[in-house]
Structure formats: C-alpha cells, structure tokens
Amino acid sequence: MILLKRFLFHVTASATTLFLILSIGEWLVPGSVLPFFNVVDAILPLFGLILVCVLICSKPSPPEHANDSLS
C-alpha cells in the first residue's frame, strides 16, 4: 500500500513537472506544443490528480512492520 502511495506521489510530481515544462515551452516558443497538445486541457485532470494525491498520501498510515516494532 505504501508503495502504491509513493507511486501515486511520483506520478503526480512527474505530471506536474511535465505540465510546467510544456507550459513554459509554449510560452517561450509559441506553437511548439499547442499543435500537438493543448496544455490548458490538462489543468483540470492535473488538479484532480494533485487533490487525490494530497488526500491519499497525506493520511498517516500504520507502520509497515508494526509487529516488528512492538516486539
């Protein structure tokens, strides 16, 4: 479960990075990204992804080896 949470975190982080890179690319060189992909269309899904990530990843989860620590 922790691994999946970490994976979701990395997916969200990499998607946000890509979004920022593409947005800056389009801003610096107009027409370089837009013909292939409209970054504005990605804002809502990305926002949803970030929200899901915050909700899931910010919840404290029980230690993976709780029994070990108790012992």
Partner 1 sequence: MRLRETIVIPFLAIPWIVTVAIGMWFVVQRFPPSGVFIADTKMNGASPFIHPFQPAERVTVPGIQDGGWIGQRVLGDPVYGSARVPGPYQDVTFDIEFRPVRQTLLEFGIARDSNGANLDLQPLYSKELENPDWTAVSNGYVKEGVSESRLRSTDPNGIATWNATTSMALLEDVGQVSRTTHVSLRGGHDFYLVPVDRTIDFTLNLQDSNRKEGRTVAVFRIFRGDEEIQTKVFGTNASQETRMGIVAPYRILLKDLEAGVYRIQYQADDDVFIRNIQTTSKHWVIGPRLNFGDVVGYATSSVPGIAWTNSRHIVAETFHIEGLQSVELGGQSVDVVRTHDVFRIDRDDTSLALQRITAPNGDMRIVGDGWFALDKDRFFQPKPIRMTDGTVFENENIKGVVTPYQRPESIGDGWYRATVRFELVGNEDQLRIVLSSPGIVSRLGGVDIRRIRATYTRPRLNFSEWKSLILQEMKNAWHRL
Which residues, numbered 20-39, are part of the site for partner 1 (CB under 8 A)? Answer: 21-22, 25, 28-36
CB of 59 to partner 1, least distance (A): 19
CB of 7 to partner 1, least distance (A): 6
CB of 34 to partner 1, least distance (A): 7
Q: Kindly tell me the burial class for residue 14, based on how many C-beta atoms sit within 10 Å of its own C-beta (0-12, 13-18, 19 or more).
A: exposed
Asked if 2 contacts 61 with a C-beta cutoff of 8 angstroms, the reply is yes
**Does residue 43 interact with partner 1 by CB under 8 A?**
no
